[in-house]
Structure 1
Amino acid sequence: MSYNYLPLDKSPLNFQQIKNLLEYDQLVSITFDAHEKITRCREYLDEKLEKTGELFYGINTGFGFLQNVKIDKAQLQELQENLLRSHACGVGEEVPKDIVKLMIAFKIKSLTYGNSGVQIDTVKRLMEMYNNDVLPVIYTQGSLGASGDLAPLAHLCLPLIGSGEVNHEGKRYDPKDIYKKFKWQNIELKSKEGLALINGTQFMSAYGLHNLIEADRLLEWADMIAAISFDAFDCSTEPLHEKIHSLRSHKGQVNTAASLRAILKRSEIAAQKKEQVQDPYSFRCIPQVHGASKDTFEYVLRIFMKEVNSVTDNPTIFPEDDLILNGGNFHGQPLALALDFLSIAMSEIGSISERRIYQLISGQHNLPMFLVKNSGLHSGFMIPQYTAAALVSENKQLCTPASVDSISSSNNQEDHVSMGATAATKCKRIINNVEKILAIELLTALQALEFRKPLKSSPVIEKLATEFRKEVSFNDADRVLHNDIMKAIEFLRSNSFD
């Protein structure tokens, strides 16, 4: 088996596999076991419809409030194609490429359990699309996160029937042109397939996992940058002592204190005697605040890994038990609540970061006002703090929970919705803002650190500072700091701790 493929079947995926899928640009495939399960389920459904005149929701009936409208056998393909077309009502910004890729991968994964009734050709085409960089154009707005992510998933699957739009190798195409290039034929959807494709939580799940991947990276950076600020502000290391954290042993708190101790090890600045008895909370309580966000991250990650390893369409089919059951696995409530929690946790990382920026430019602890030698003539780092404060305030507004909202749809058939899709896209905006705030703190902290010379910080921090100075020089006179901030953001993206 090639390591460039991620095999998909009923075996649970883990977080590292999902990170690798994107980082190493892996392809996807299904296993022989998954192929057999998909085929067996489809055969069962075909036999069931042939032998009985029974009504099965969405298979030979209308959808939502139209659940009791019987559809003639000759019209079942048209029914499923109409479903995709009618539900493709997305608006707003385009979903980013990596999230589209995760949506396809997670949809394939969900179908491999053999409980959805799709034909194997449909799954193969999704794989072909993924592996050949044929990515549907999907929009961020339109899902209530209740009957699954109906609108986004309809846009995801329109290309199966030669409709919608796709991006391929950086250009926009009509799927018909792509089908000619690859000599593909449109998929002729069978009963239940359209519903299986658009019922599901793959939009929320893909956004959630992408948010978690970014949060994981930024939580590591948050400790590193906080440690730089800690030394730049000439803080006492006493609050990092392991004895303190053993008395309140939250995992994230204990690990954060240990992380900062390791980063600051052998720092000449940290070792020198301090004038102050205690430091502000934004420094003294880094383990408690960062740690709480890390614990939240772990909780949310468990929810999302459970979700991507689940079947979330409706109805679900159990060939071995001769059952076709209607339910609500597509409802995004677990994800909506978790996404709102992650939003709050990551917003707090940005909030405490901005407070450290503020302290660093305040002229305390023998640092010059606004970290510039001739303040007054030069504004120095006065306004980057404004930018960070604006981002923090925006995040506070974005943290209003989406999950407490609901609005009725489908003529009151779908009378409680999760708003998980809104929670997902809001969470991404928050995390993007946190990255900018941390970049500003990094820029500010390394500027402040220069004023501690000739004392040196730890080897770890000095090495990072040397690398950063290759991209951004010390600021000894006013210049356009937008450029420095953008370089700092890119520095966070292009460097890791692996």
Structure 2
Amino acid sequence: MEHSRIVIDGTGLDCGLVARAARTDVMIAISPAGLDRARAAAETARAVAAERPVYGRTTGVGANRMVNVEWEDADAHGLRLLRSHAAGAGPLVAPEIVRAMLTVRLNQLAAGGSGVDPGVLQPLADALNLGLLPPVPVYGAIGTGDLTALASTALCLLGERAWLGGVDDGPARGPGFRLRSSDALAFISSNAATLGEAALAAADLRTLVAASTAVAALSLLAVRGSEEPYVPAVHDACPHPGQQEVAAAMRALLAFDHPAPGRIQDPYGYRAFPQVHGPALEAARYAEGVVTREINARAENPLVDVAGRTVWHNGNFHTAYVGLALDAARAALFQTMALSAARLGTLTEPSFTGLYPFQAATEASSGIMILEYVAHSALADVRRLATPAALGSAVLSRGVEEHAGFSTQAARATTDALAAYRIGLGCELVAAVRALRLQGRAPAGGPLKDGYDLAAQVLDERVEDRPLDADIAAAADLLPRLAELIGEPDPAP
């Protein structure tokens, strides 16, 4: 992949590429192989539909699956389907999530399982390259298909609904394509919006999990914590892979610093960090693997089987794997964020830092007192959002569709939880760097020193009482750069 160009081929998309497509100025192109797969699937779908009933092509949808579409009504059926399903509600989702949706759907179509006319691929790529987006409201999906979002996209292609992204982000004329009526259901039967948001969340989760280790190491230095909890013998005795990786990462970060520990045994925020952060690392990695598998899957219903010259009606539209993986990731995220808040508490204590209470300029000043309130406010949101979305279900369409995993809500909750986590971790970073500065200390070398120097360049060094909101924002913005410096731990053998 060129740095400024992403080639969509139906097989090679990952969460990082989705994030690049959604958040940066890159050109989206379609590979010839992807076009060939889409073309072959379209030809197969038309041939099979001419011989036997195919859901959504020759029949109604949902509870209307048993109703055949008469040939004289075939041209109008698909348009009615799109109009009736473009009925989302609520505020519009963030533009980056819509861009991620278009990127994922483009890749799915190039995978060659939908049977949609391949002519639609270039207009979708053009919309991305022109910065045009369909309007996608928040409410409308439950994890079994982003029907409302993609129906809205289809109406934009048909010219019945305006693209967003014109002058002042208002309505705009954009690329058009006349979807065949028989392709209407095949185009919208996808979880591309849910998966797009899940891909962004998975990429951000990996970044924040890596940055967390660096912040914890800075806090450990600031409180003169013990390195004993990270020695190999401890983790060989309880060999969970994530735990071992986190301990190894802490050893690597602290390799240049071996101050005498301030106490025989530290609080859990330091002593149990590998045991609590390890599950978060593993959950993040698992979630990213699940999402990557899904965005490259031919998860279409019906699935067009080119090799078998047939179609298969199936349940691959159900994203239970994605929802459950994200639910687990949020639970693990809450656990490790609780330790971050606990470490922040030690950074306000003179017995840990050797400074005035709250690292204040004087004994009566407030210093960083408010950071604890901010961090616990953010932690409360992560705790609220950790409730598993999969605990809900639904029975829809006259009882025919009798289950939902709510992966859409799991993705949205993960997006919001990560935003709160960034704030809490940013508070800890502010406190750790300030403590080391006031102590006249800094990491001695290696990537931890690089990370400290980066933070010290950006974070205000003044210690008199003043608003700290800009400090928190700056620290939160630094976290991706810290993650780049530190890197993700290598998997344990």
Task: Give the TM-score, by structure 1 length.
Answer: 0.90
Match of 1:259 among 237, 240, 249: 249
Counterpart Cα distance in 1 of 2:247 and 2:2 = 41
Structure 2: segments with no counterpart, 5+ residues? 486-493
The change in CA–CA distance for 1:358 and 1:487 in structure 2 (over 3 A counts) is same
Task: Look up the SS of the partner of 2:66 in the other structure.
Answer: coil
How much has 1:20 moved relative to structure 2? 4.9
Q: Residue by residue, what CA displacement relative to the aligned partner does 1:454-496 show, whole Å, maximum 9, x if unpaired?
A: x443334444344333333234221111222122222335665
Counterpart Cα distance in 1 of 2:443 and 2:118 = 59
Letter of the 1:458 counterpart: A
Task: Look up the SS of the partner of 1:6 in the other structure.
Answer: strand
Quick check: 1:202 aligned with 2:192? yes
Residues 322-341 of structure 1 mapped to structure 2, 5 A cutoff: 322-341=309-328
Match of 1:387 among 370, 374, 391: 374
The change in CA–CA distance for 1:2 and 1:263 in structure 2 (over 3 A counts) is closer
How much has 1:144 moved relative to structure 2? 1.1
Alignment correspondent of 1:158: 155
Match of 1:458 among 433, 437, 444: 444
How much has 1:167 moved relative to structure 2? 2.9
How much has 1:371 moved relative to structure 2? 1.1
The change in CA–CA distance for 1:475 and 1:161 in structure 2 (over 3 A counts) is same
Q: CA RMSD in A?
A: 2.3
Q: Residue by residue, what CA displacement relative to the aligned partner does 1:342-377 show, whole Å, maximum 9, x if unpaired?
A: 11122223211111001111332223211113233x
Give the length in aligned residue pairs. Answer: 483
Conserved in 2, the CA contact under 8 Å of 1:61 and 1:68? yes
Counterpart Cα distance in 2 of 1:456 and 1:493 = 21
Counterpart Cα distance in 1 of 2:393 and 2:167 = 37
How much has 1:89 moved relative to structure 2? 2.2
How much has 1:67 moved relative to structure 2? 1.5
Conserved in 1, the CA contact under 8 Å of 2:367 and 2:464? yes
Alignment correspondent of 2:237: 247
Counterpart Cα distance in 2 of 1:39 and 1:466 = 54
How much has 1:294 moved relative to structure 2? 0.6
Counterpart Cα distance in 2 of 1:15 and 1:205 = 10
Counterpart Cα distance in 2 of 1:221 and 1:70 = 56
Q: Residue by residue, what CA displacement relative to the aligned partner does 1:239-285 show, whole Å, maximum 9, x if unpaired?
A: 12122222222222222122222222222xx42x3341100010111
Counterpart Cα distance in 1 of 2:116 and 2:19 = 28
Counterpart Cα distance in 2 of 1:464 and 1:36 = 47
The change in CA–CA distance for 1:171 and 1:349 in structure 2 (over 3 A counts) is farther
Letter of the 1:68 counterpart: M
Counterpart Cα distance in 1 of 2:4 and 2:437 = 45
Quick check: 1:178 aligned with 2:173? yes
Q: Which moved more, 1:305-314 or 1:243-252?
A: 243-252
Match of 2:66 among 58, 65, 68: 68
Counterpart Cα distance in 2 of 1:447 and 1:252 = 30
How much has 1:49 moved relative to structure 2? 4.1
The change in CA–CA distance for 1:371 and 1:169 in structure 2 (over 3 A counts) is farther
The change in CA–CA distance for 1:49 and 1:306 in structure 2 (over 3 A counts) is closer
Sequence identity (%)? 25
Counterpart Cα distance in 2 of 1:288 and 1:45 = 51
Conserved in 2, the CA contact under 8 Å of 1:456 and 1:462? yes
Structure 1: segments with no counterpart, 5+ residues? none
Match of 2:341 among 354, 359, 369: 354
Conserved in 2, the CA contact under 8 Å of 1:372 and 1:475? no
Conserved in 1, the CA contact under 8 Å of 2:211 and 2:479? yes
The change in CA–CA distance for 1:170 and 1:397 in structure 2 (over 3 A counts) is farther
Q: Which moved more, 1:415-424 or 1:468-477?
A: 468-477
Task: Give the TM-score, by structure 2 length.
Answer: 0.91
Letter of the 1:306 counterpart: R
Conserved in 2, the CA contact under 8 Å of 1:347 and 1:431? no
Letter of the 1:28 counterpart: I
Alignment correspondent of 1:37: 37
The change in CA–CA distance for 1:241 and 1:58 in structure 2 (over 3 A counts) is same
The change in CA–CA distance for 1:155 and 1:171 in structure 2 (over 3 A counts) is farther
Quick check: 1:342 aligned with 2:329? yes
Conserved in 1, the CA contact under 8 Å of 2:38 and 2:118? yes
Q: Residue by residue, what CA displacement relative to the aligned partner does 1:429-460 show, whole Å, maximum 9, x if unpaired?
A: 0011110011000001111212322x443334
The change in CA–CA distance for 1:119 and 1:274 in structure 2 (over 3 A counts) is closer
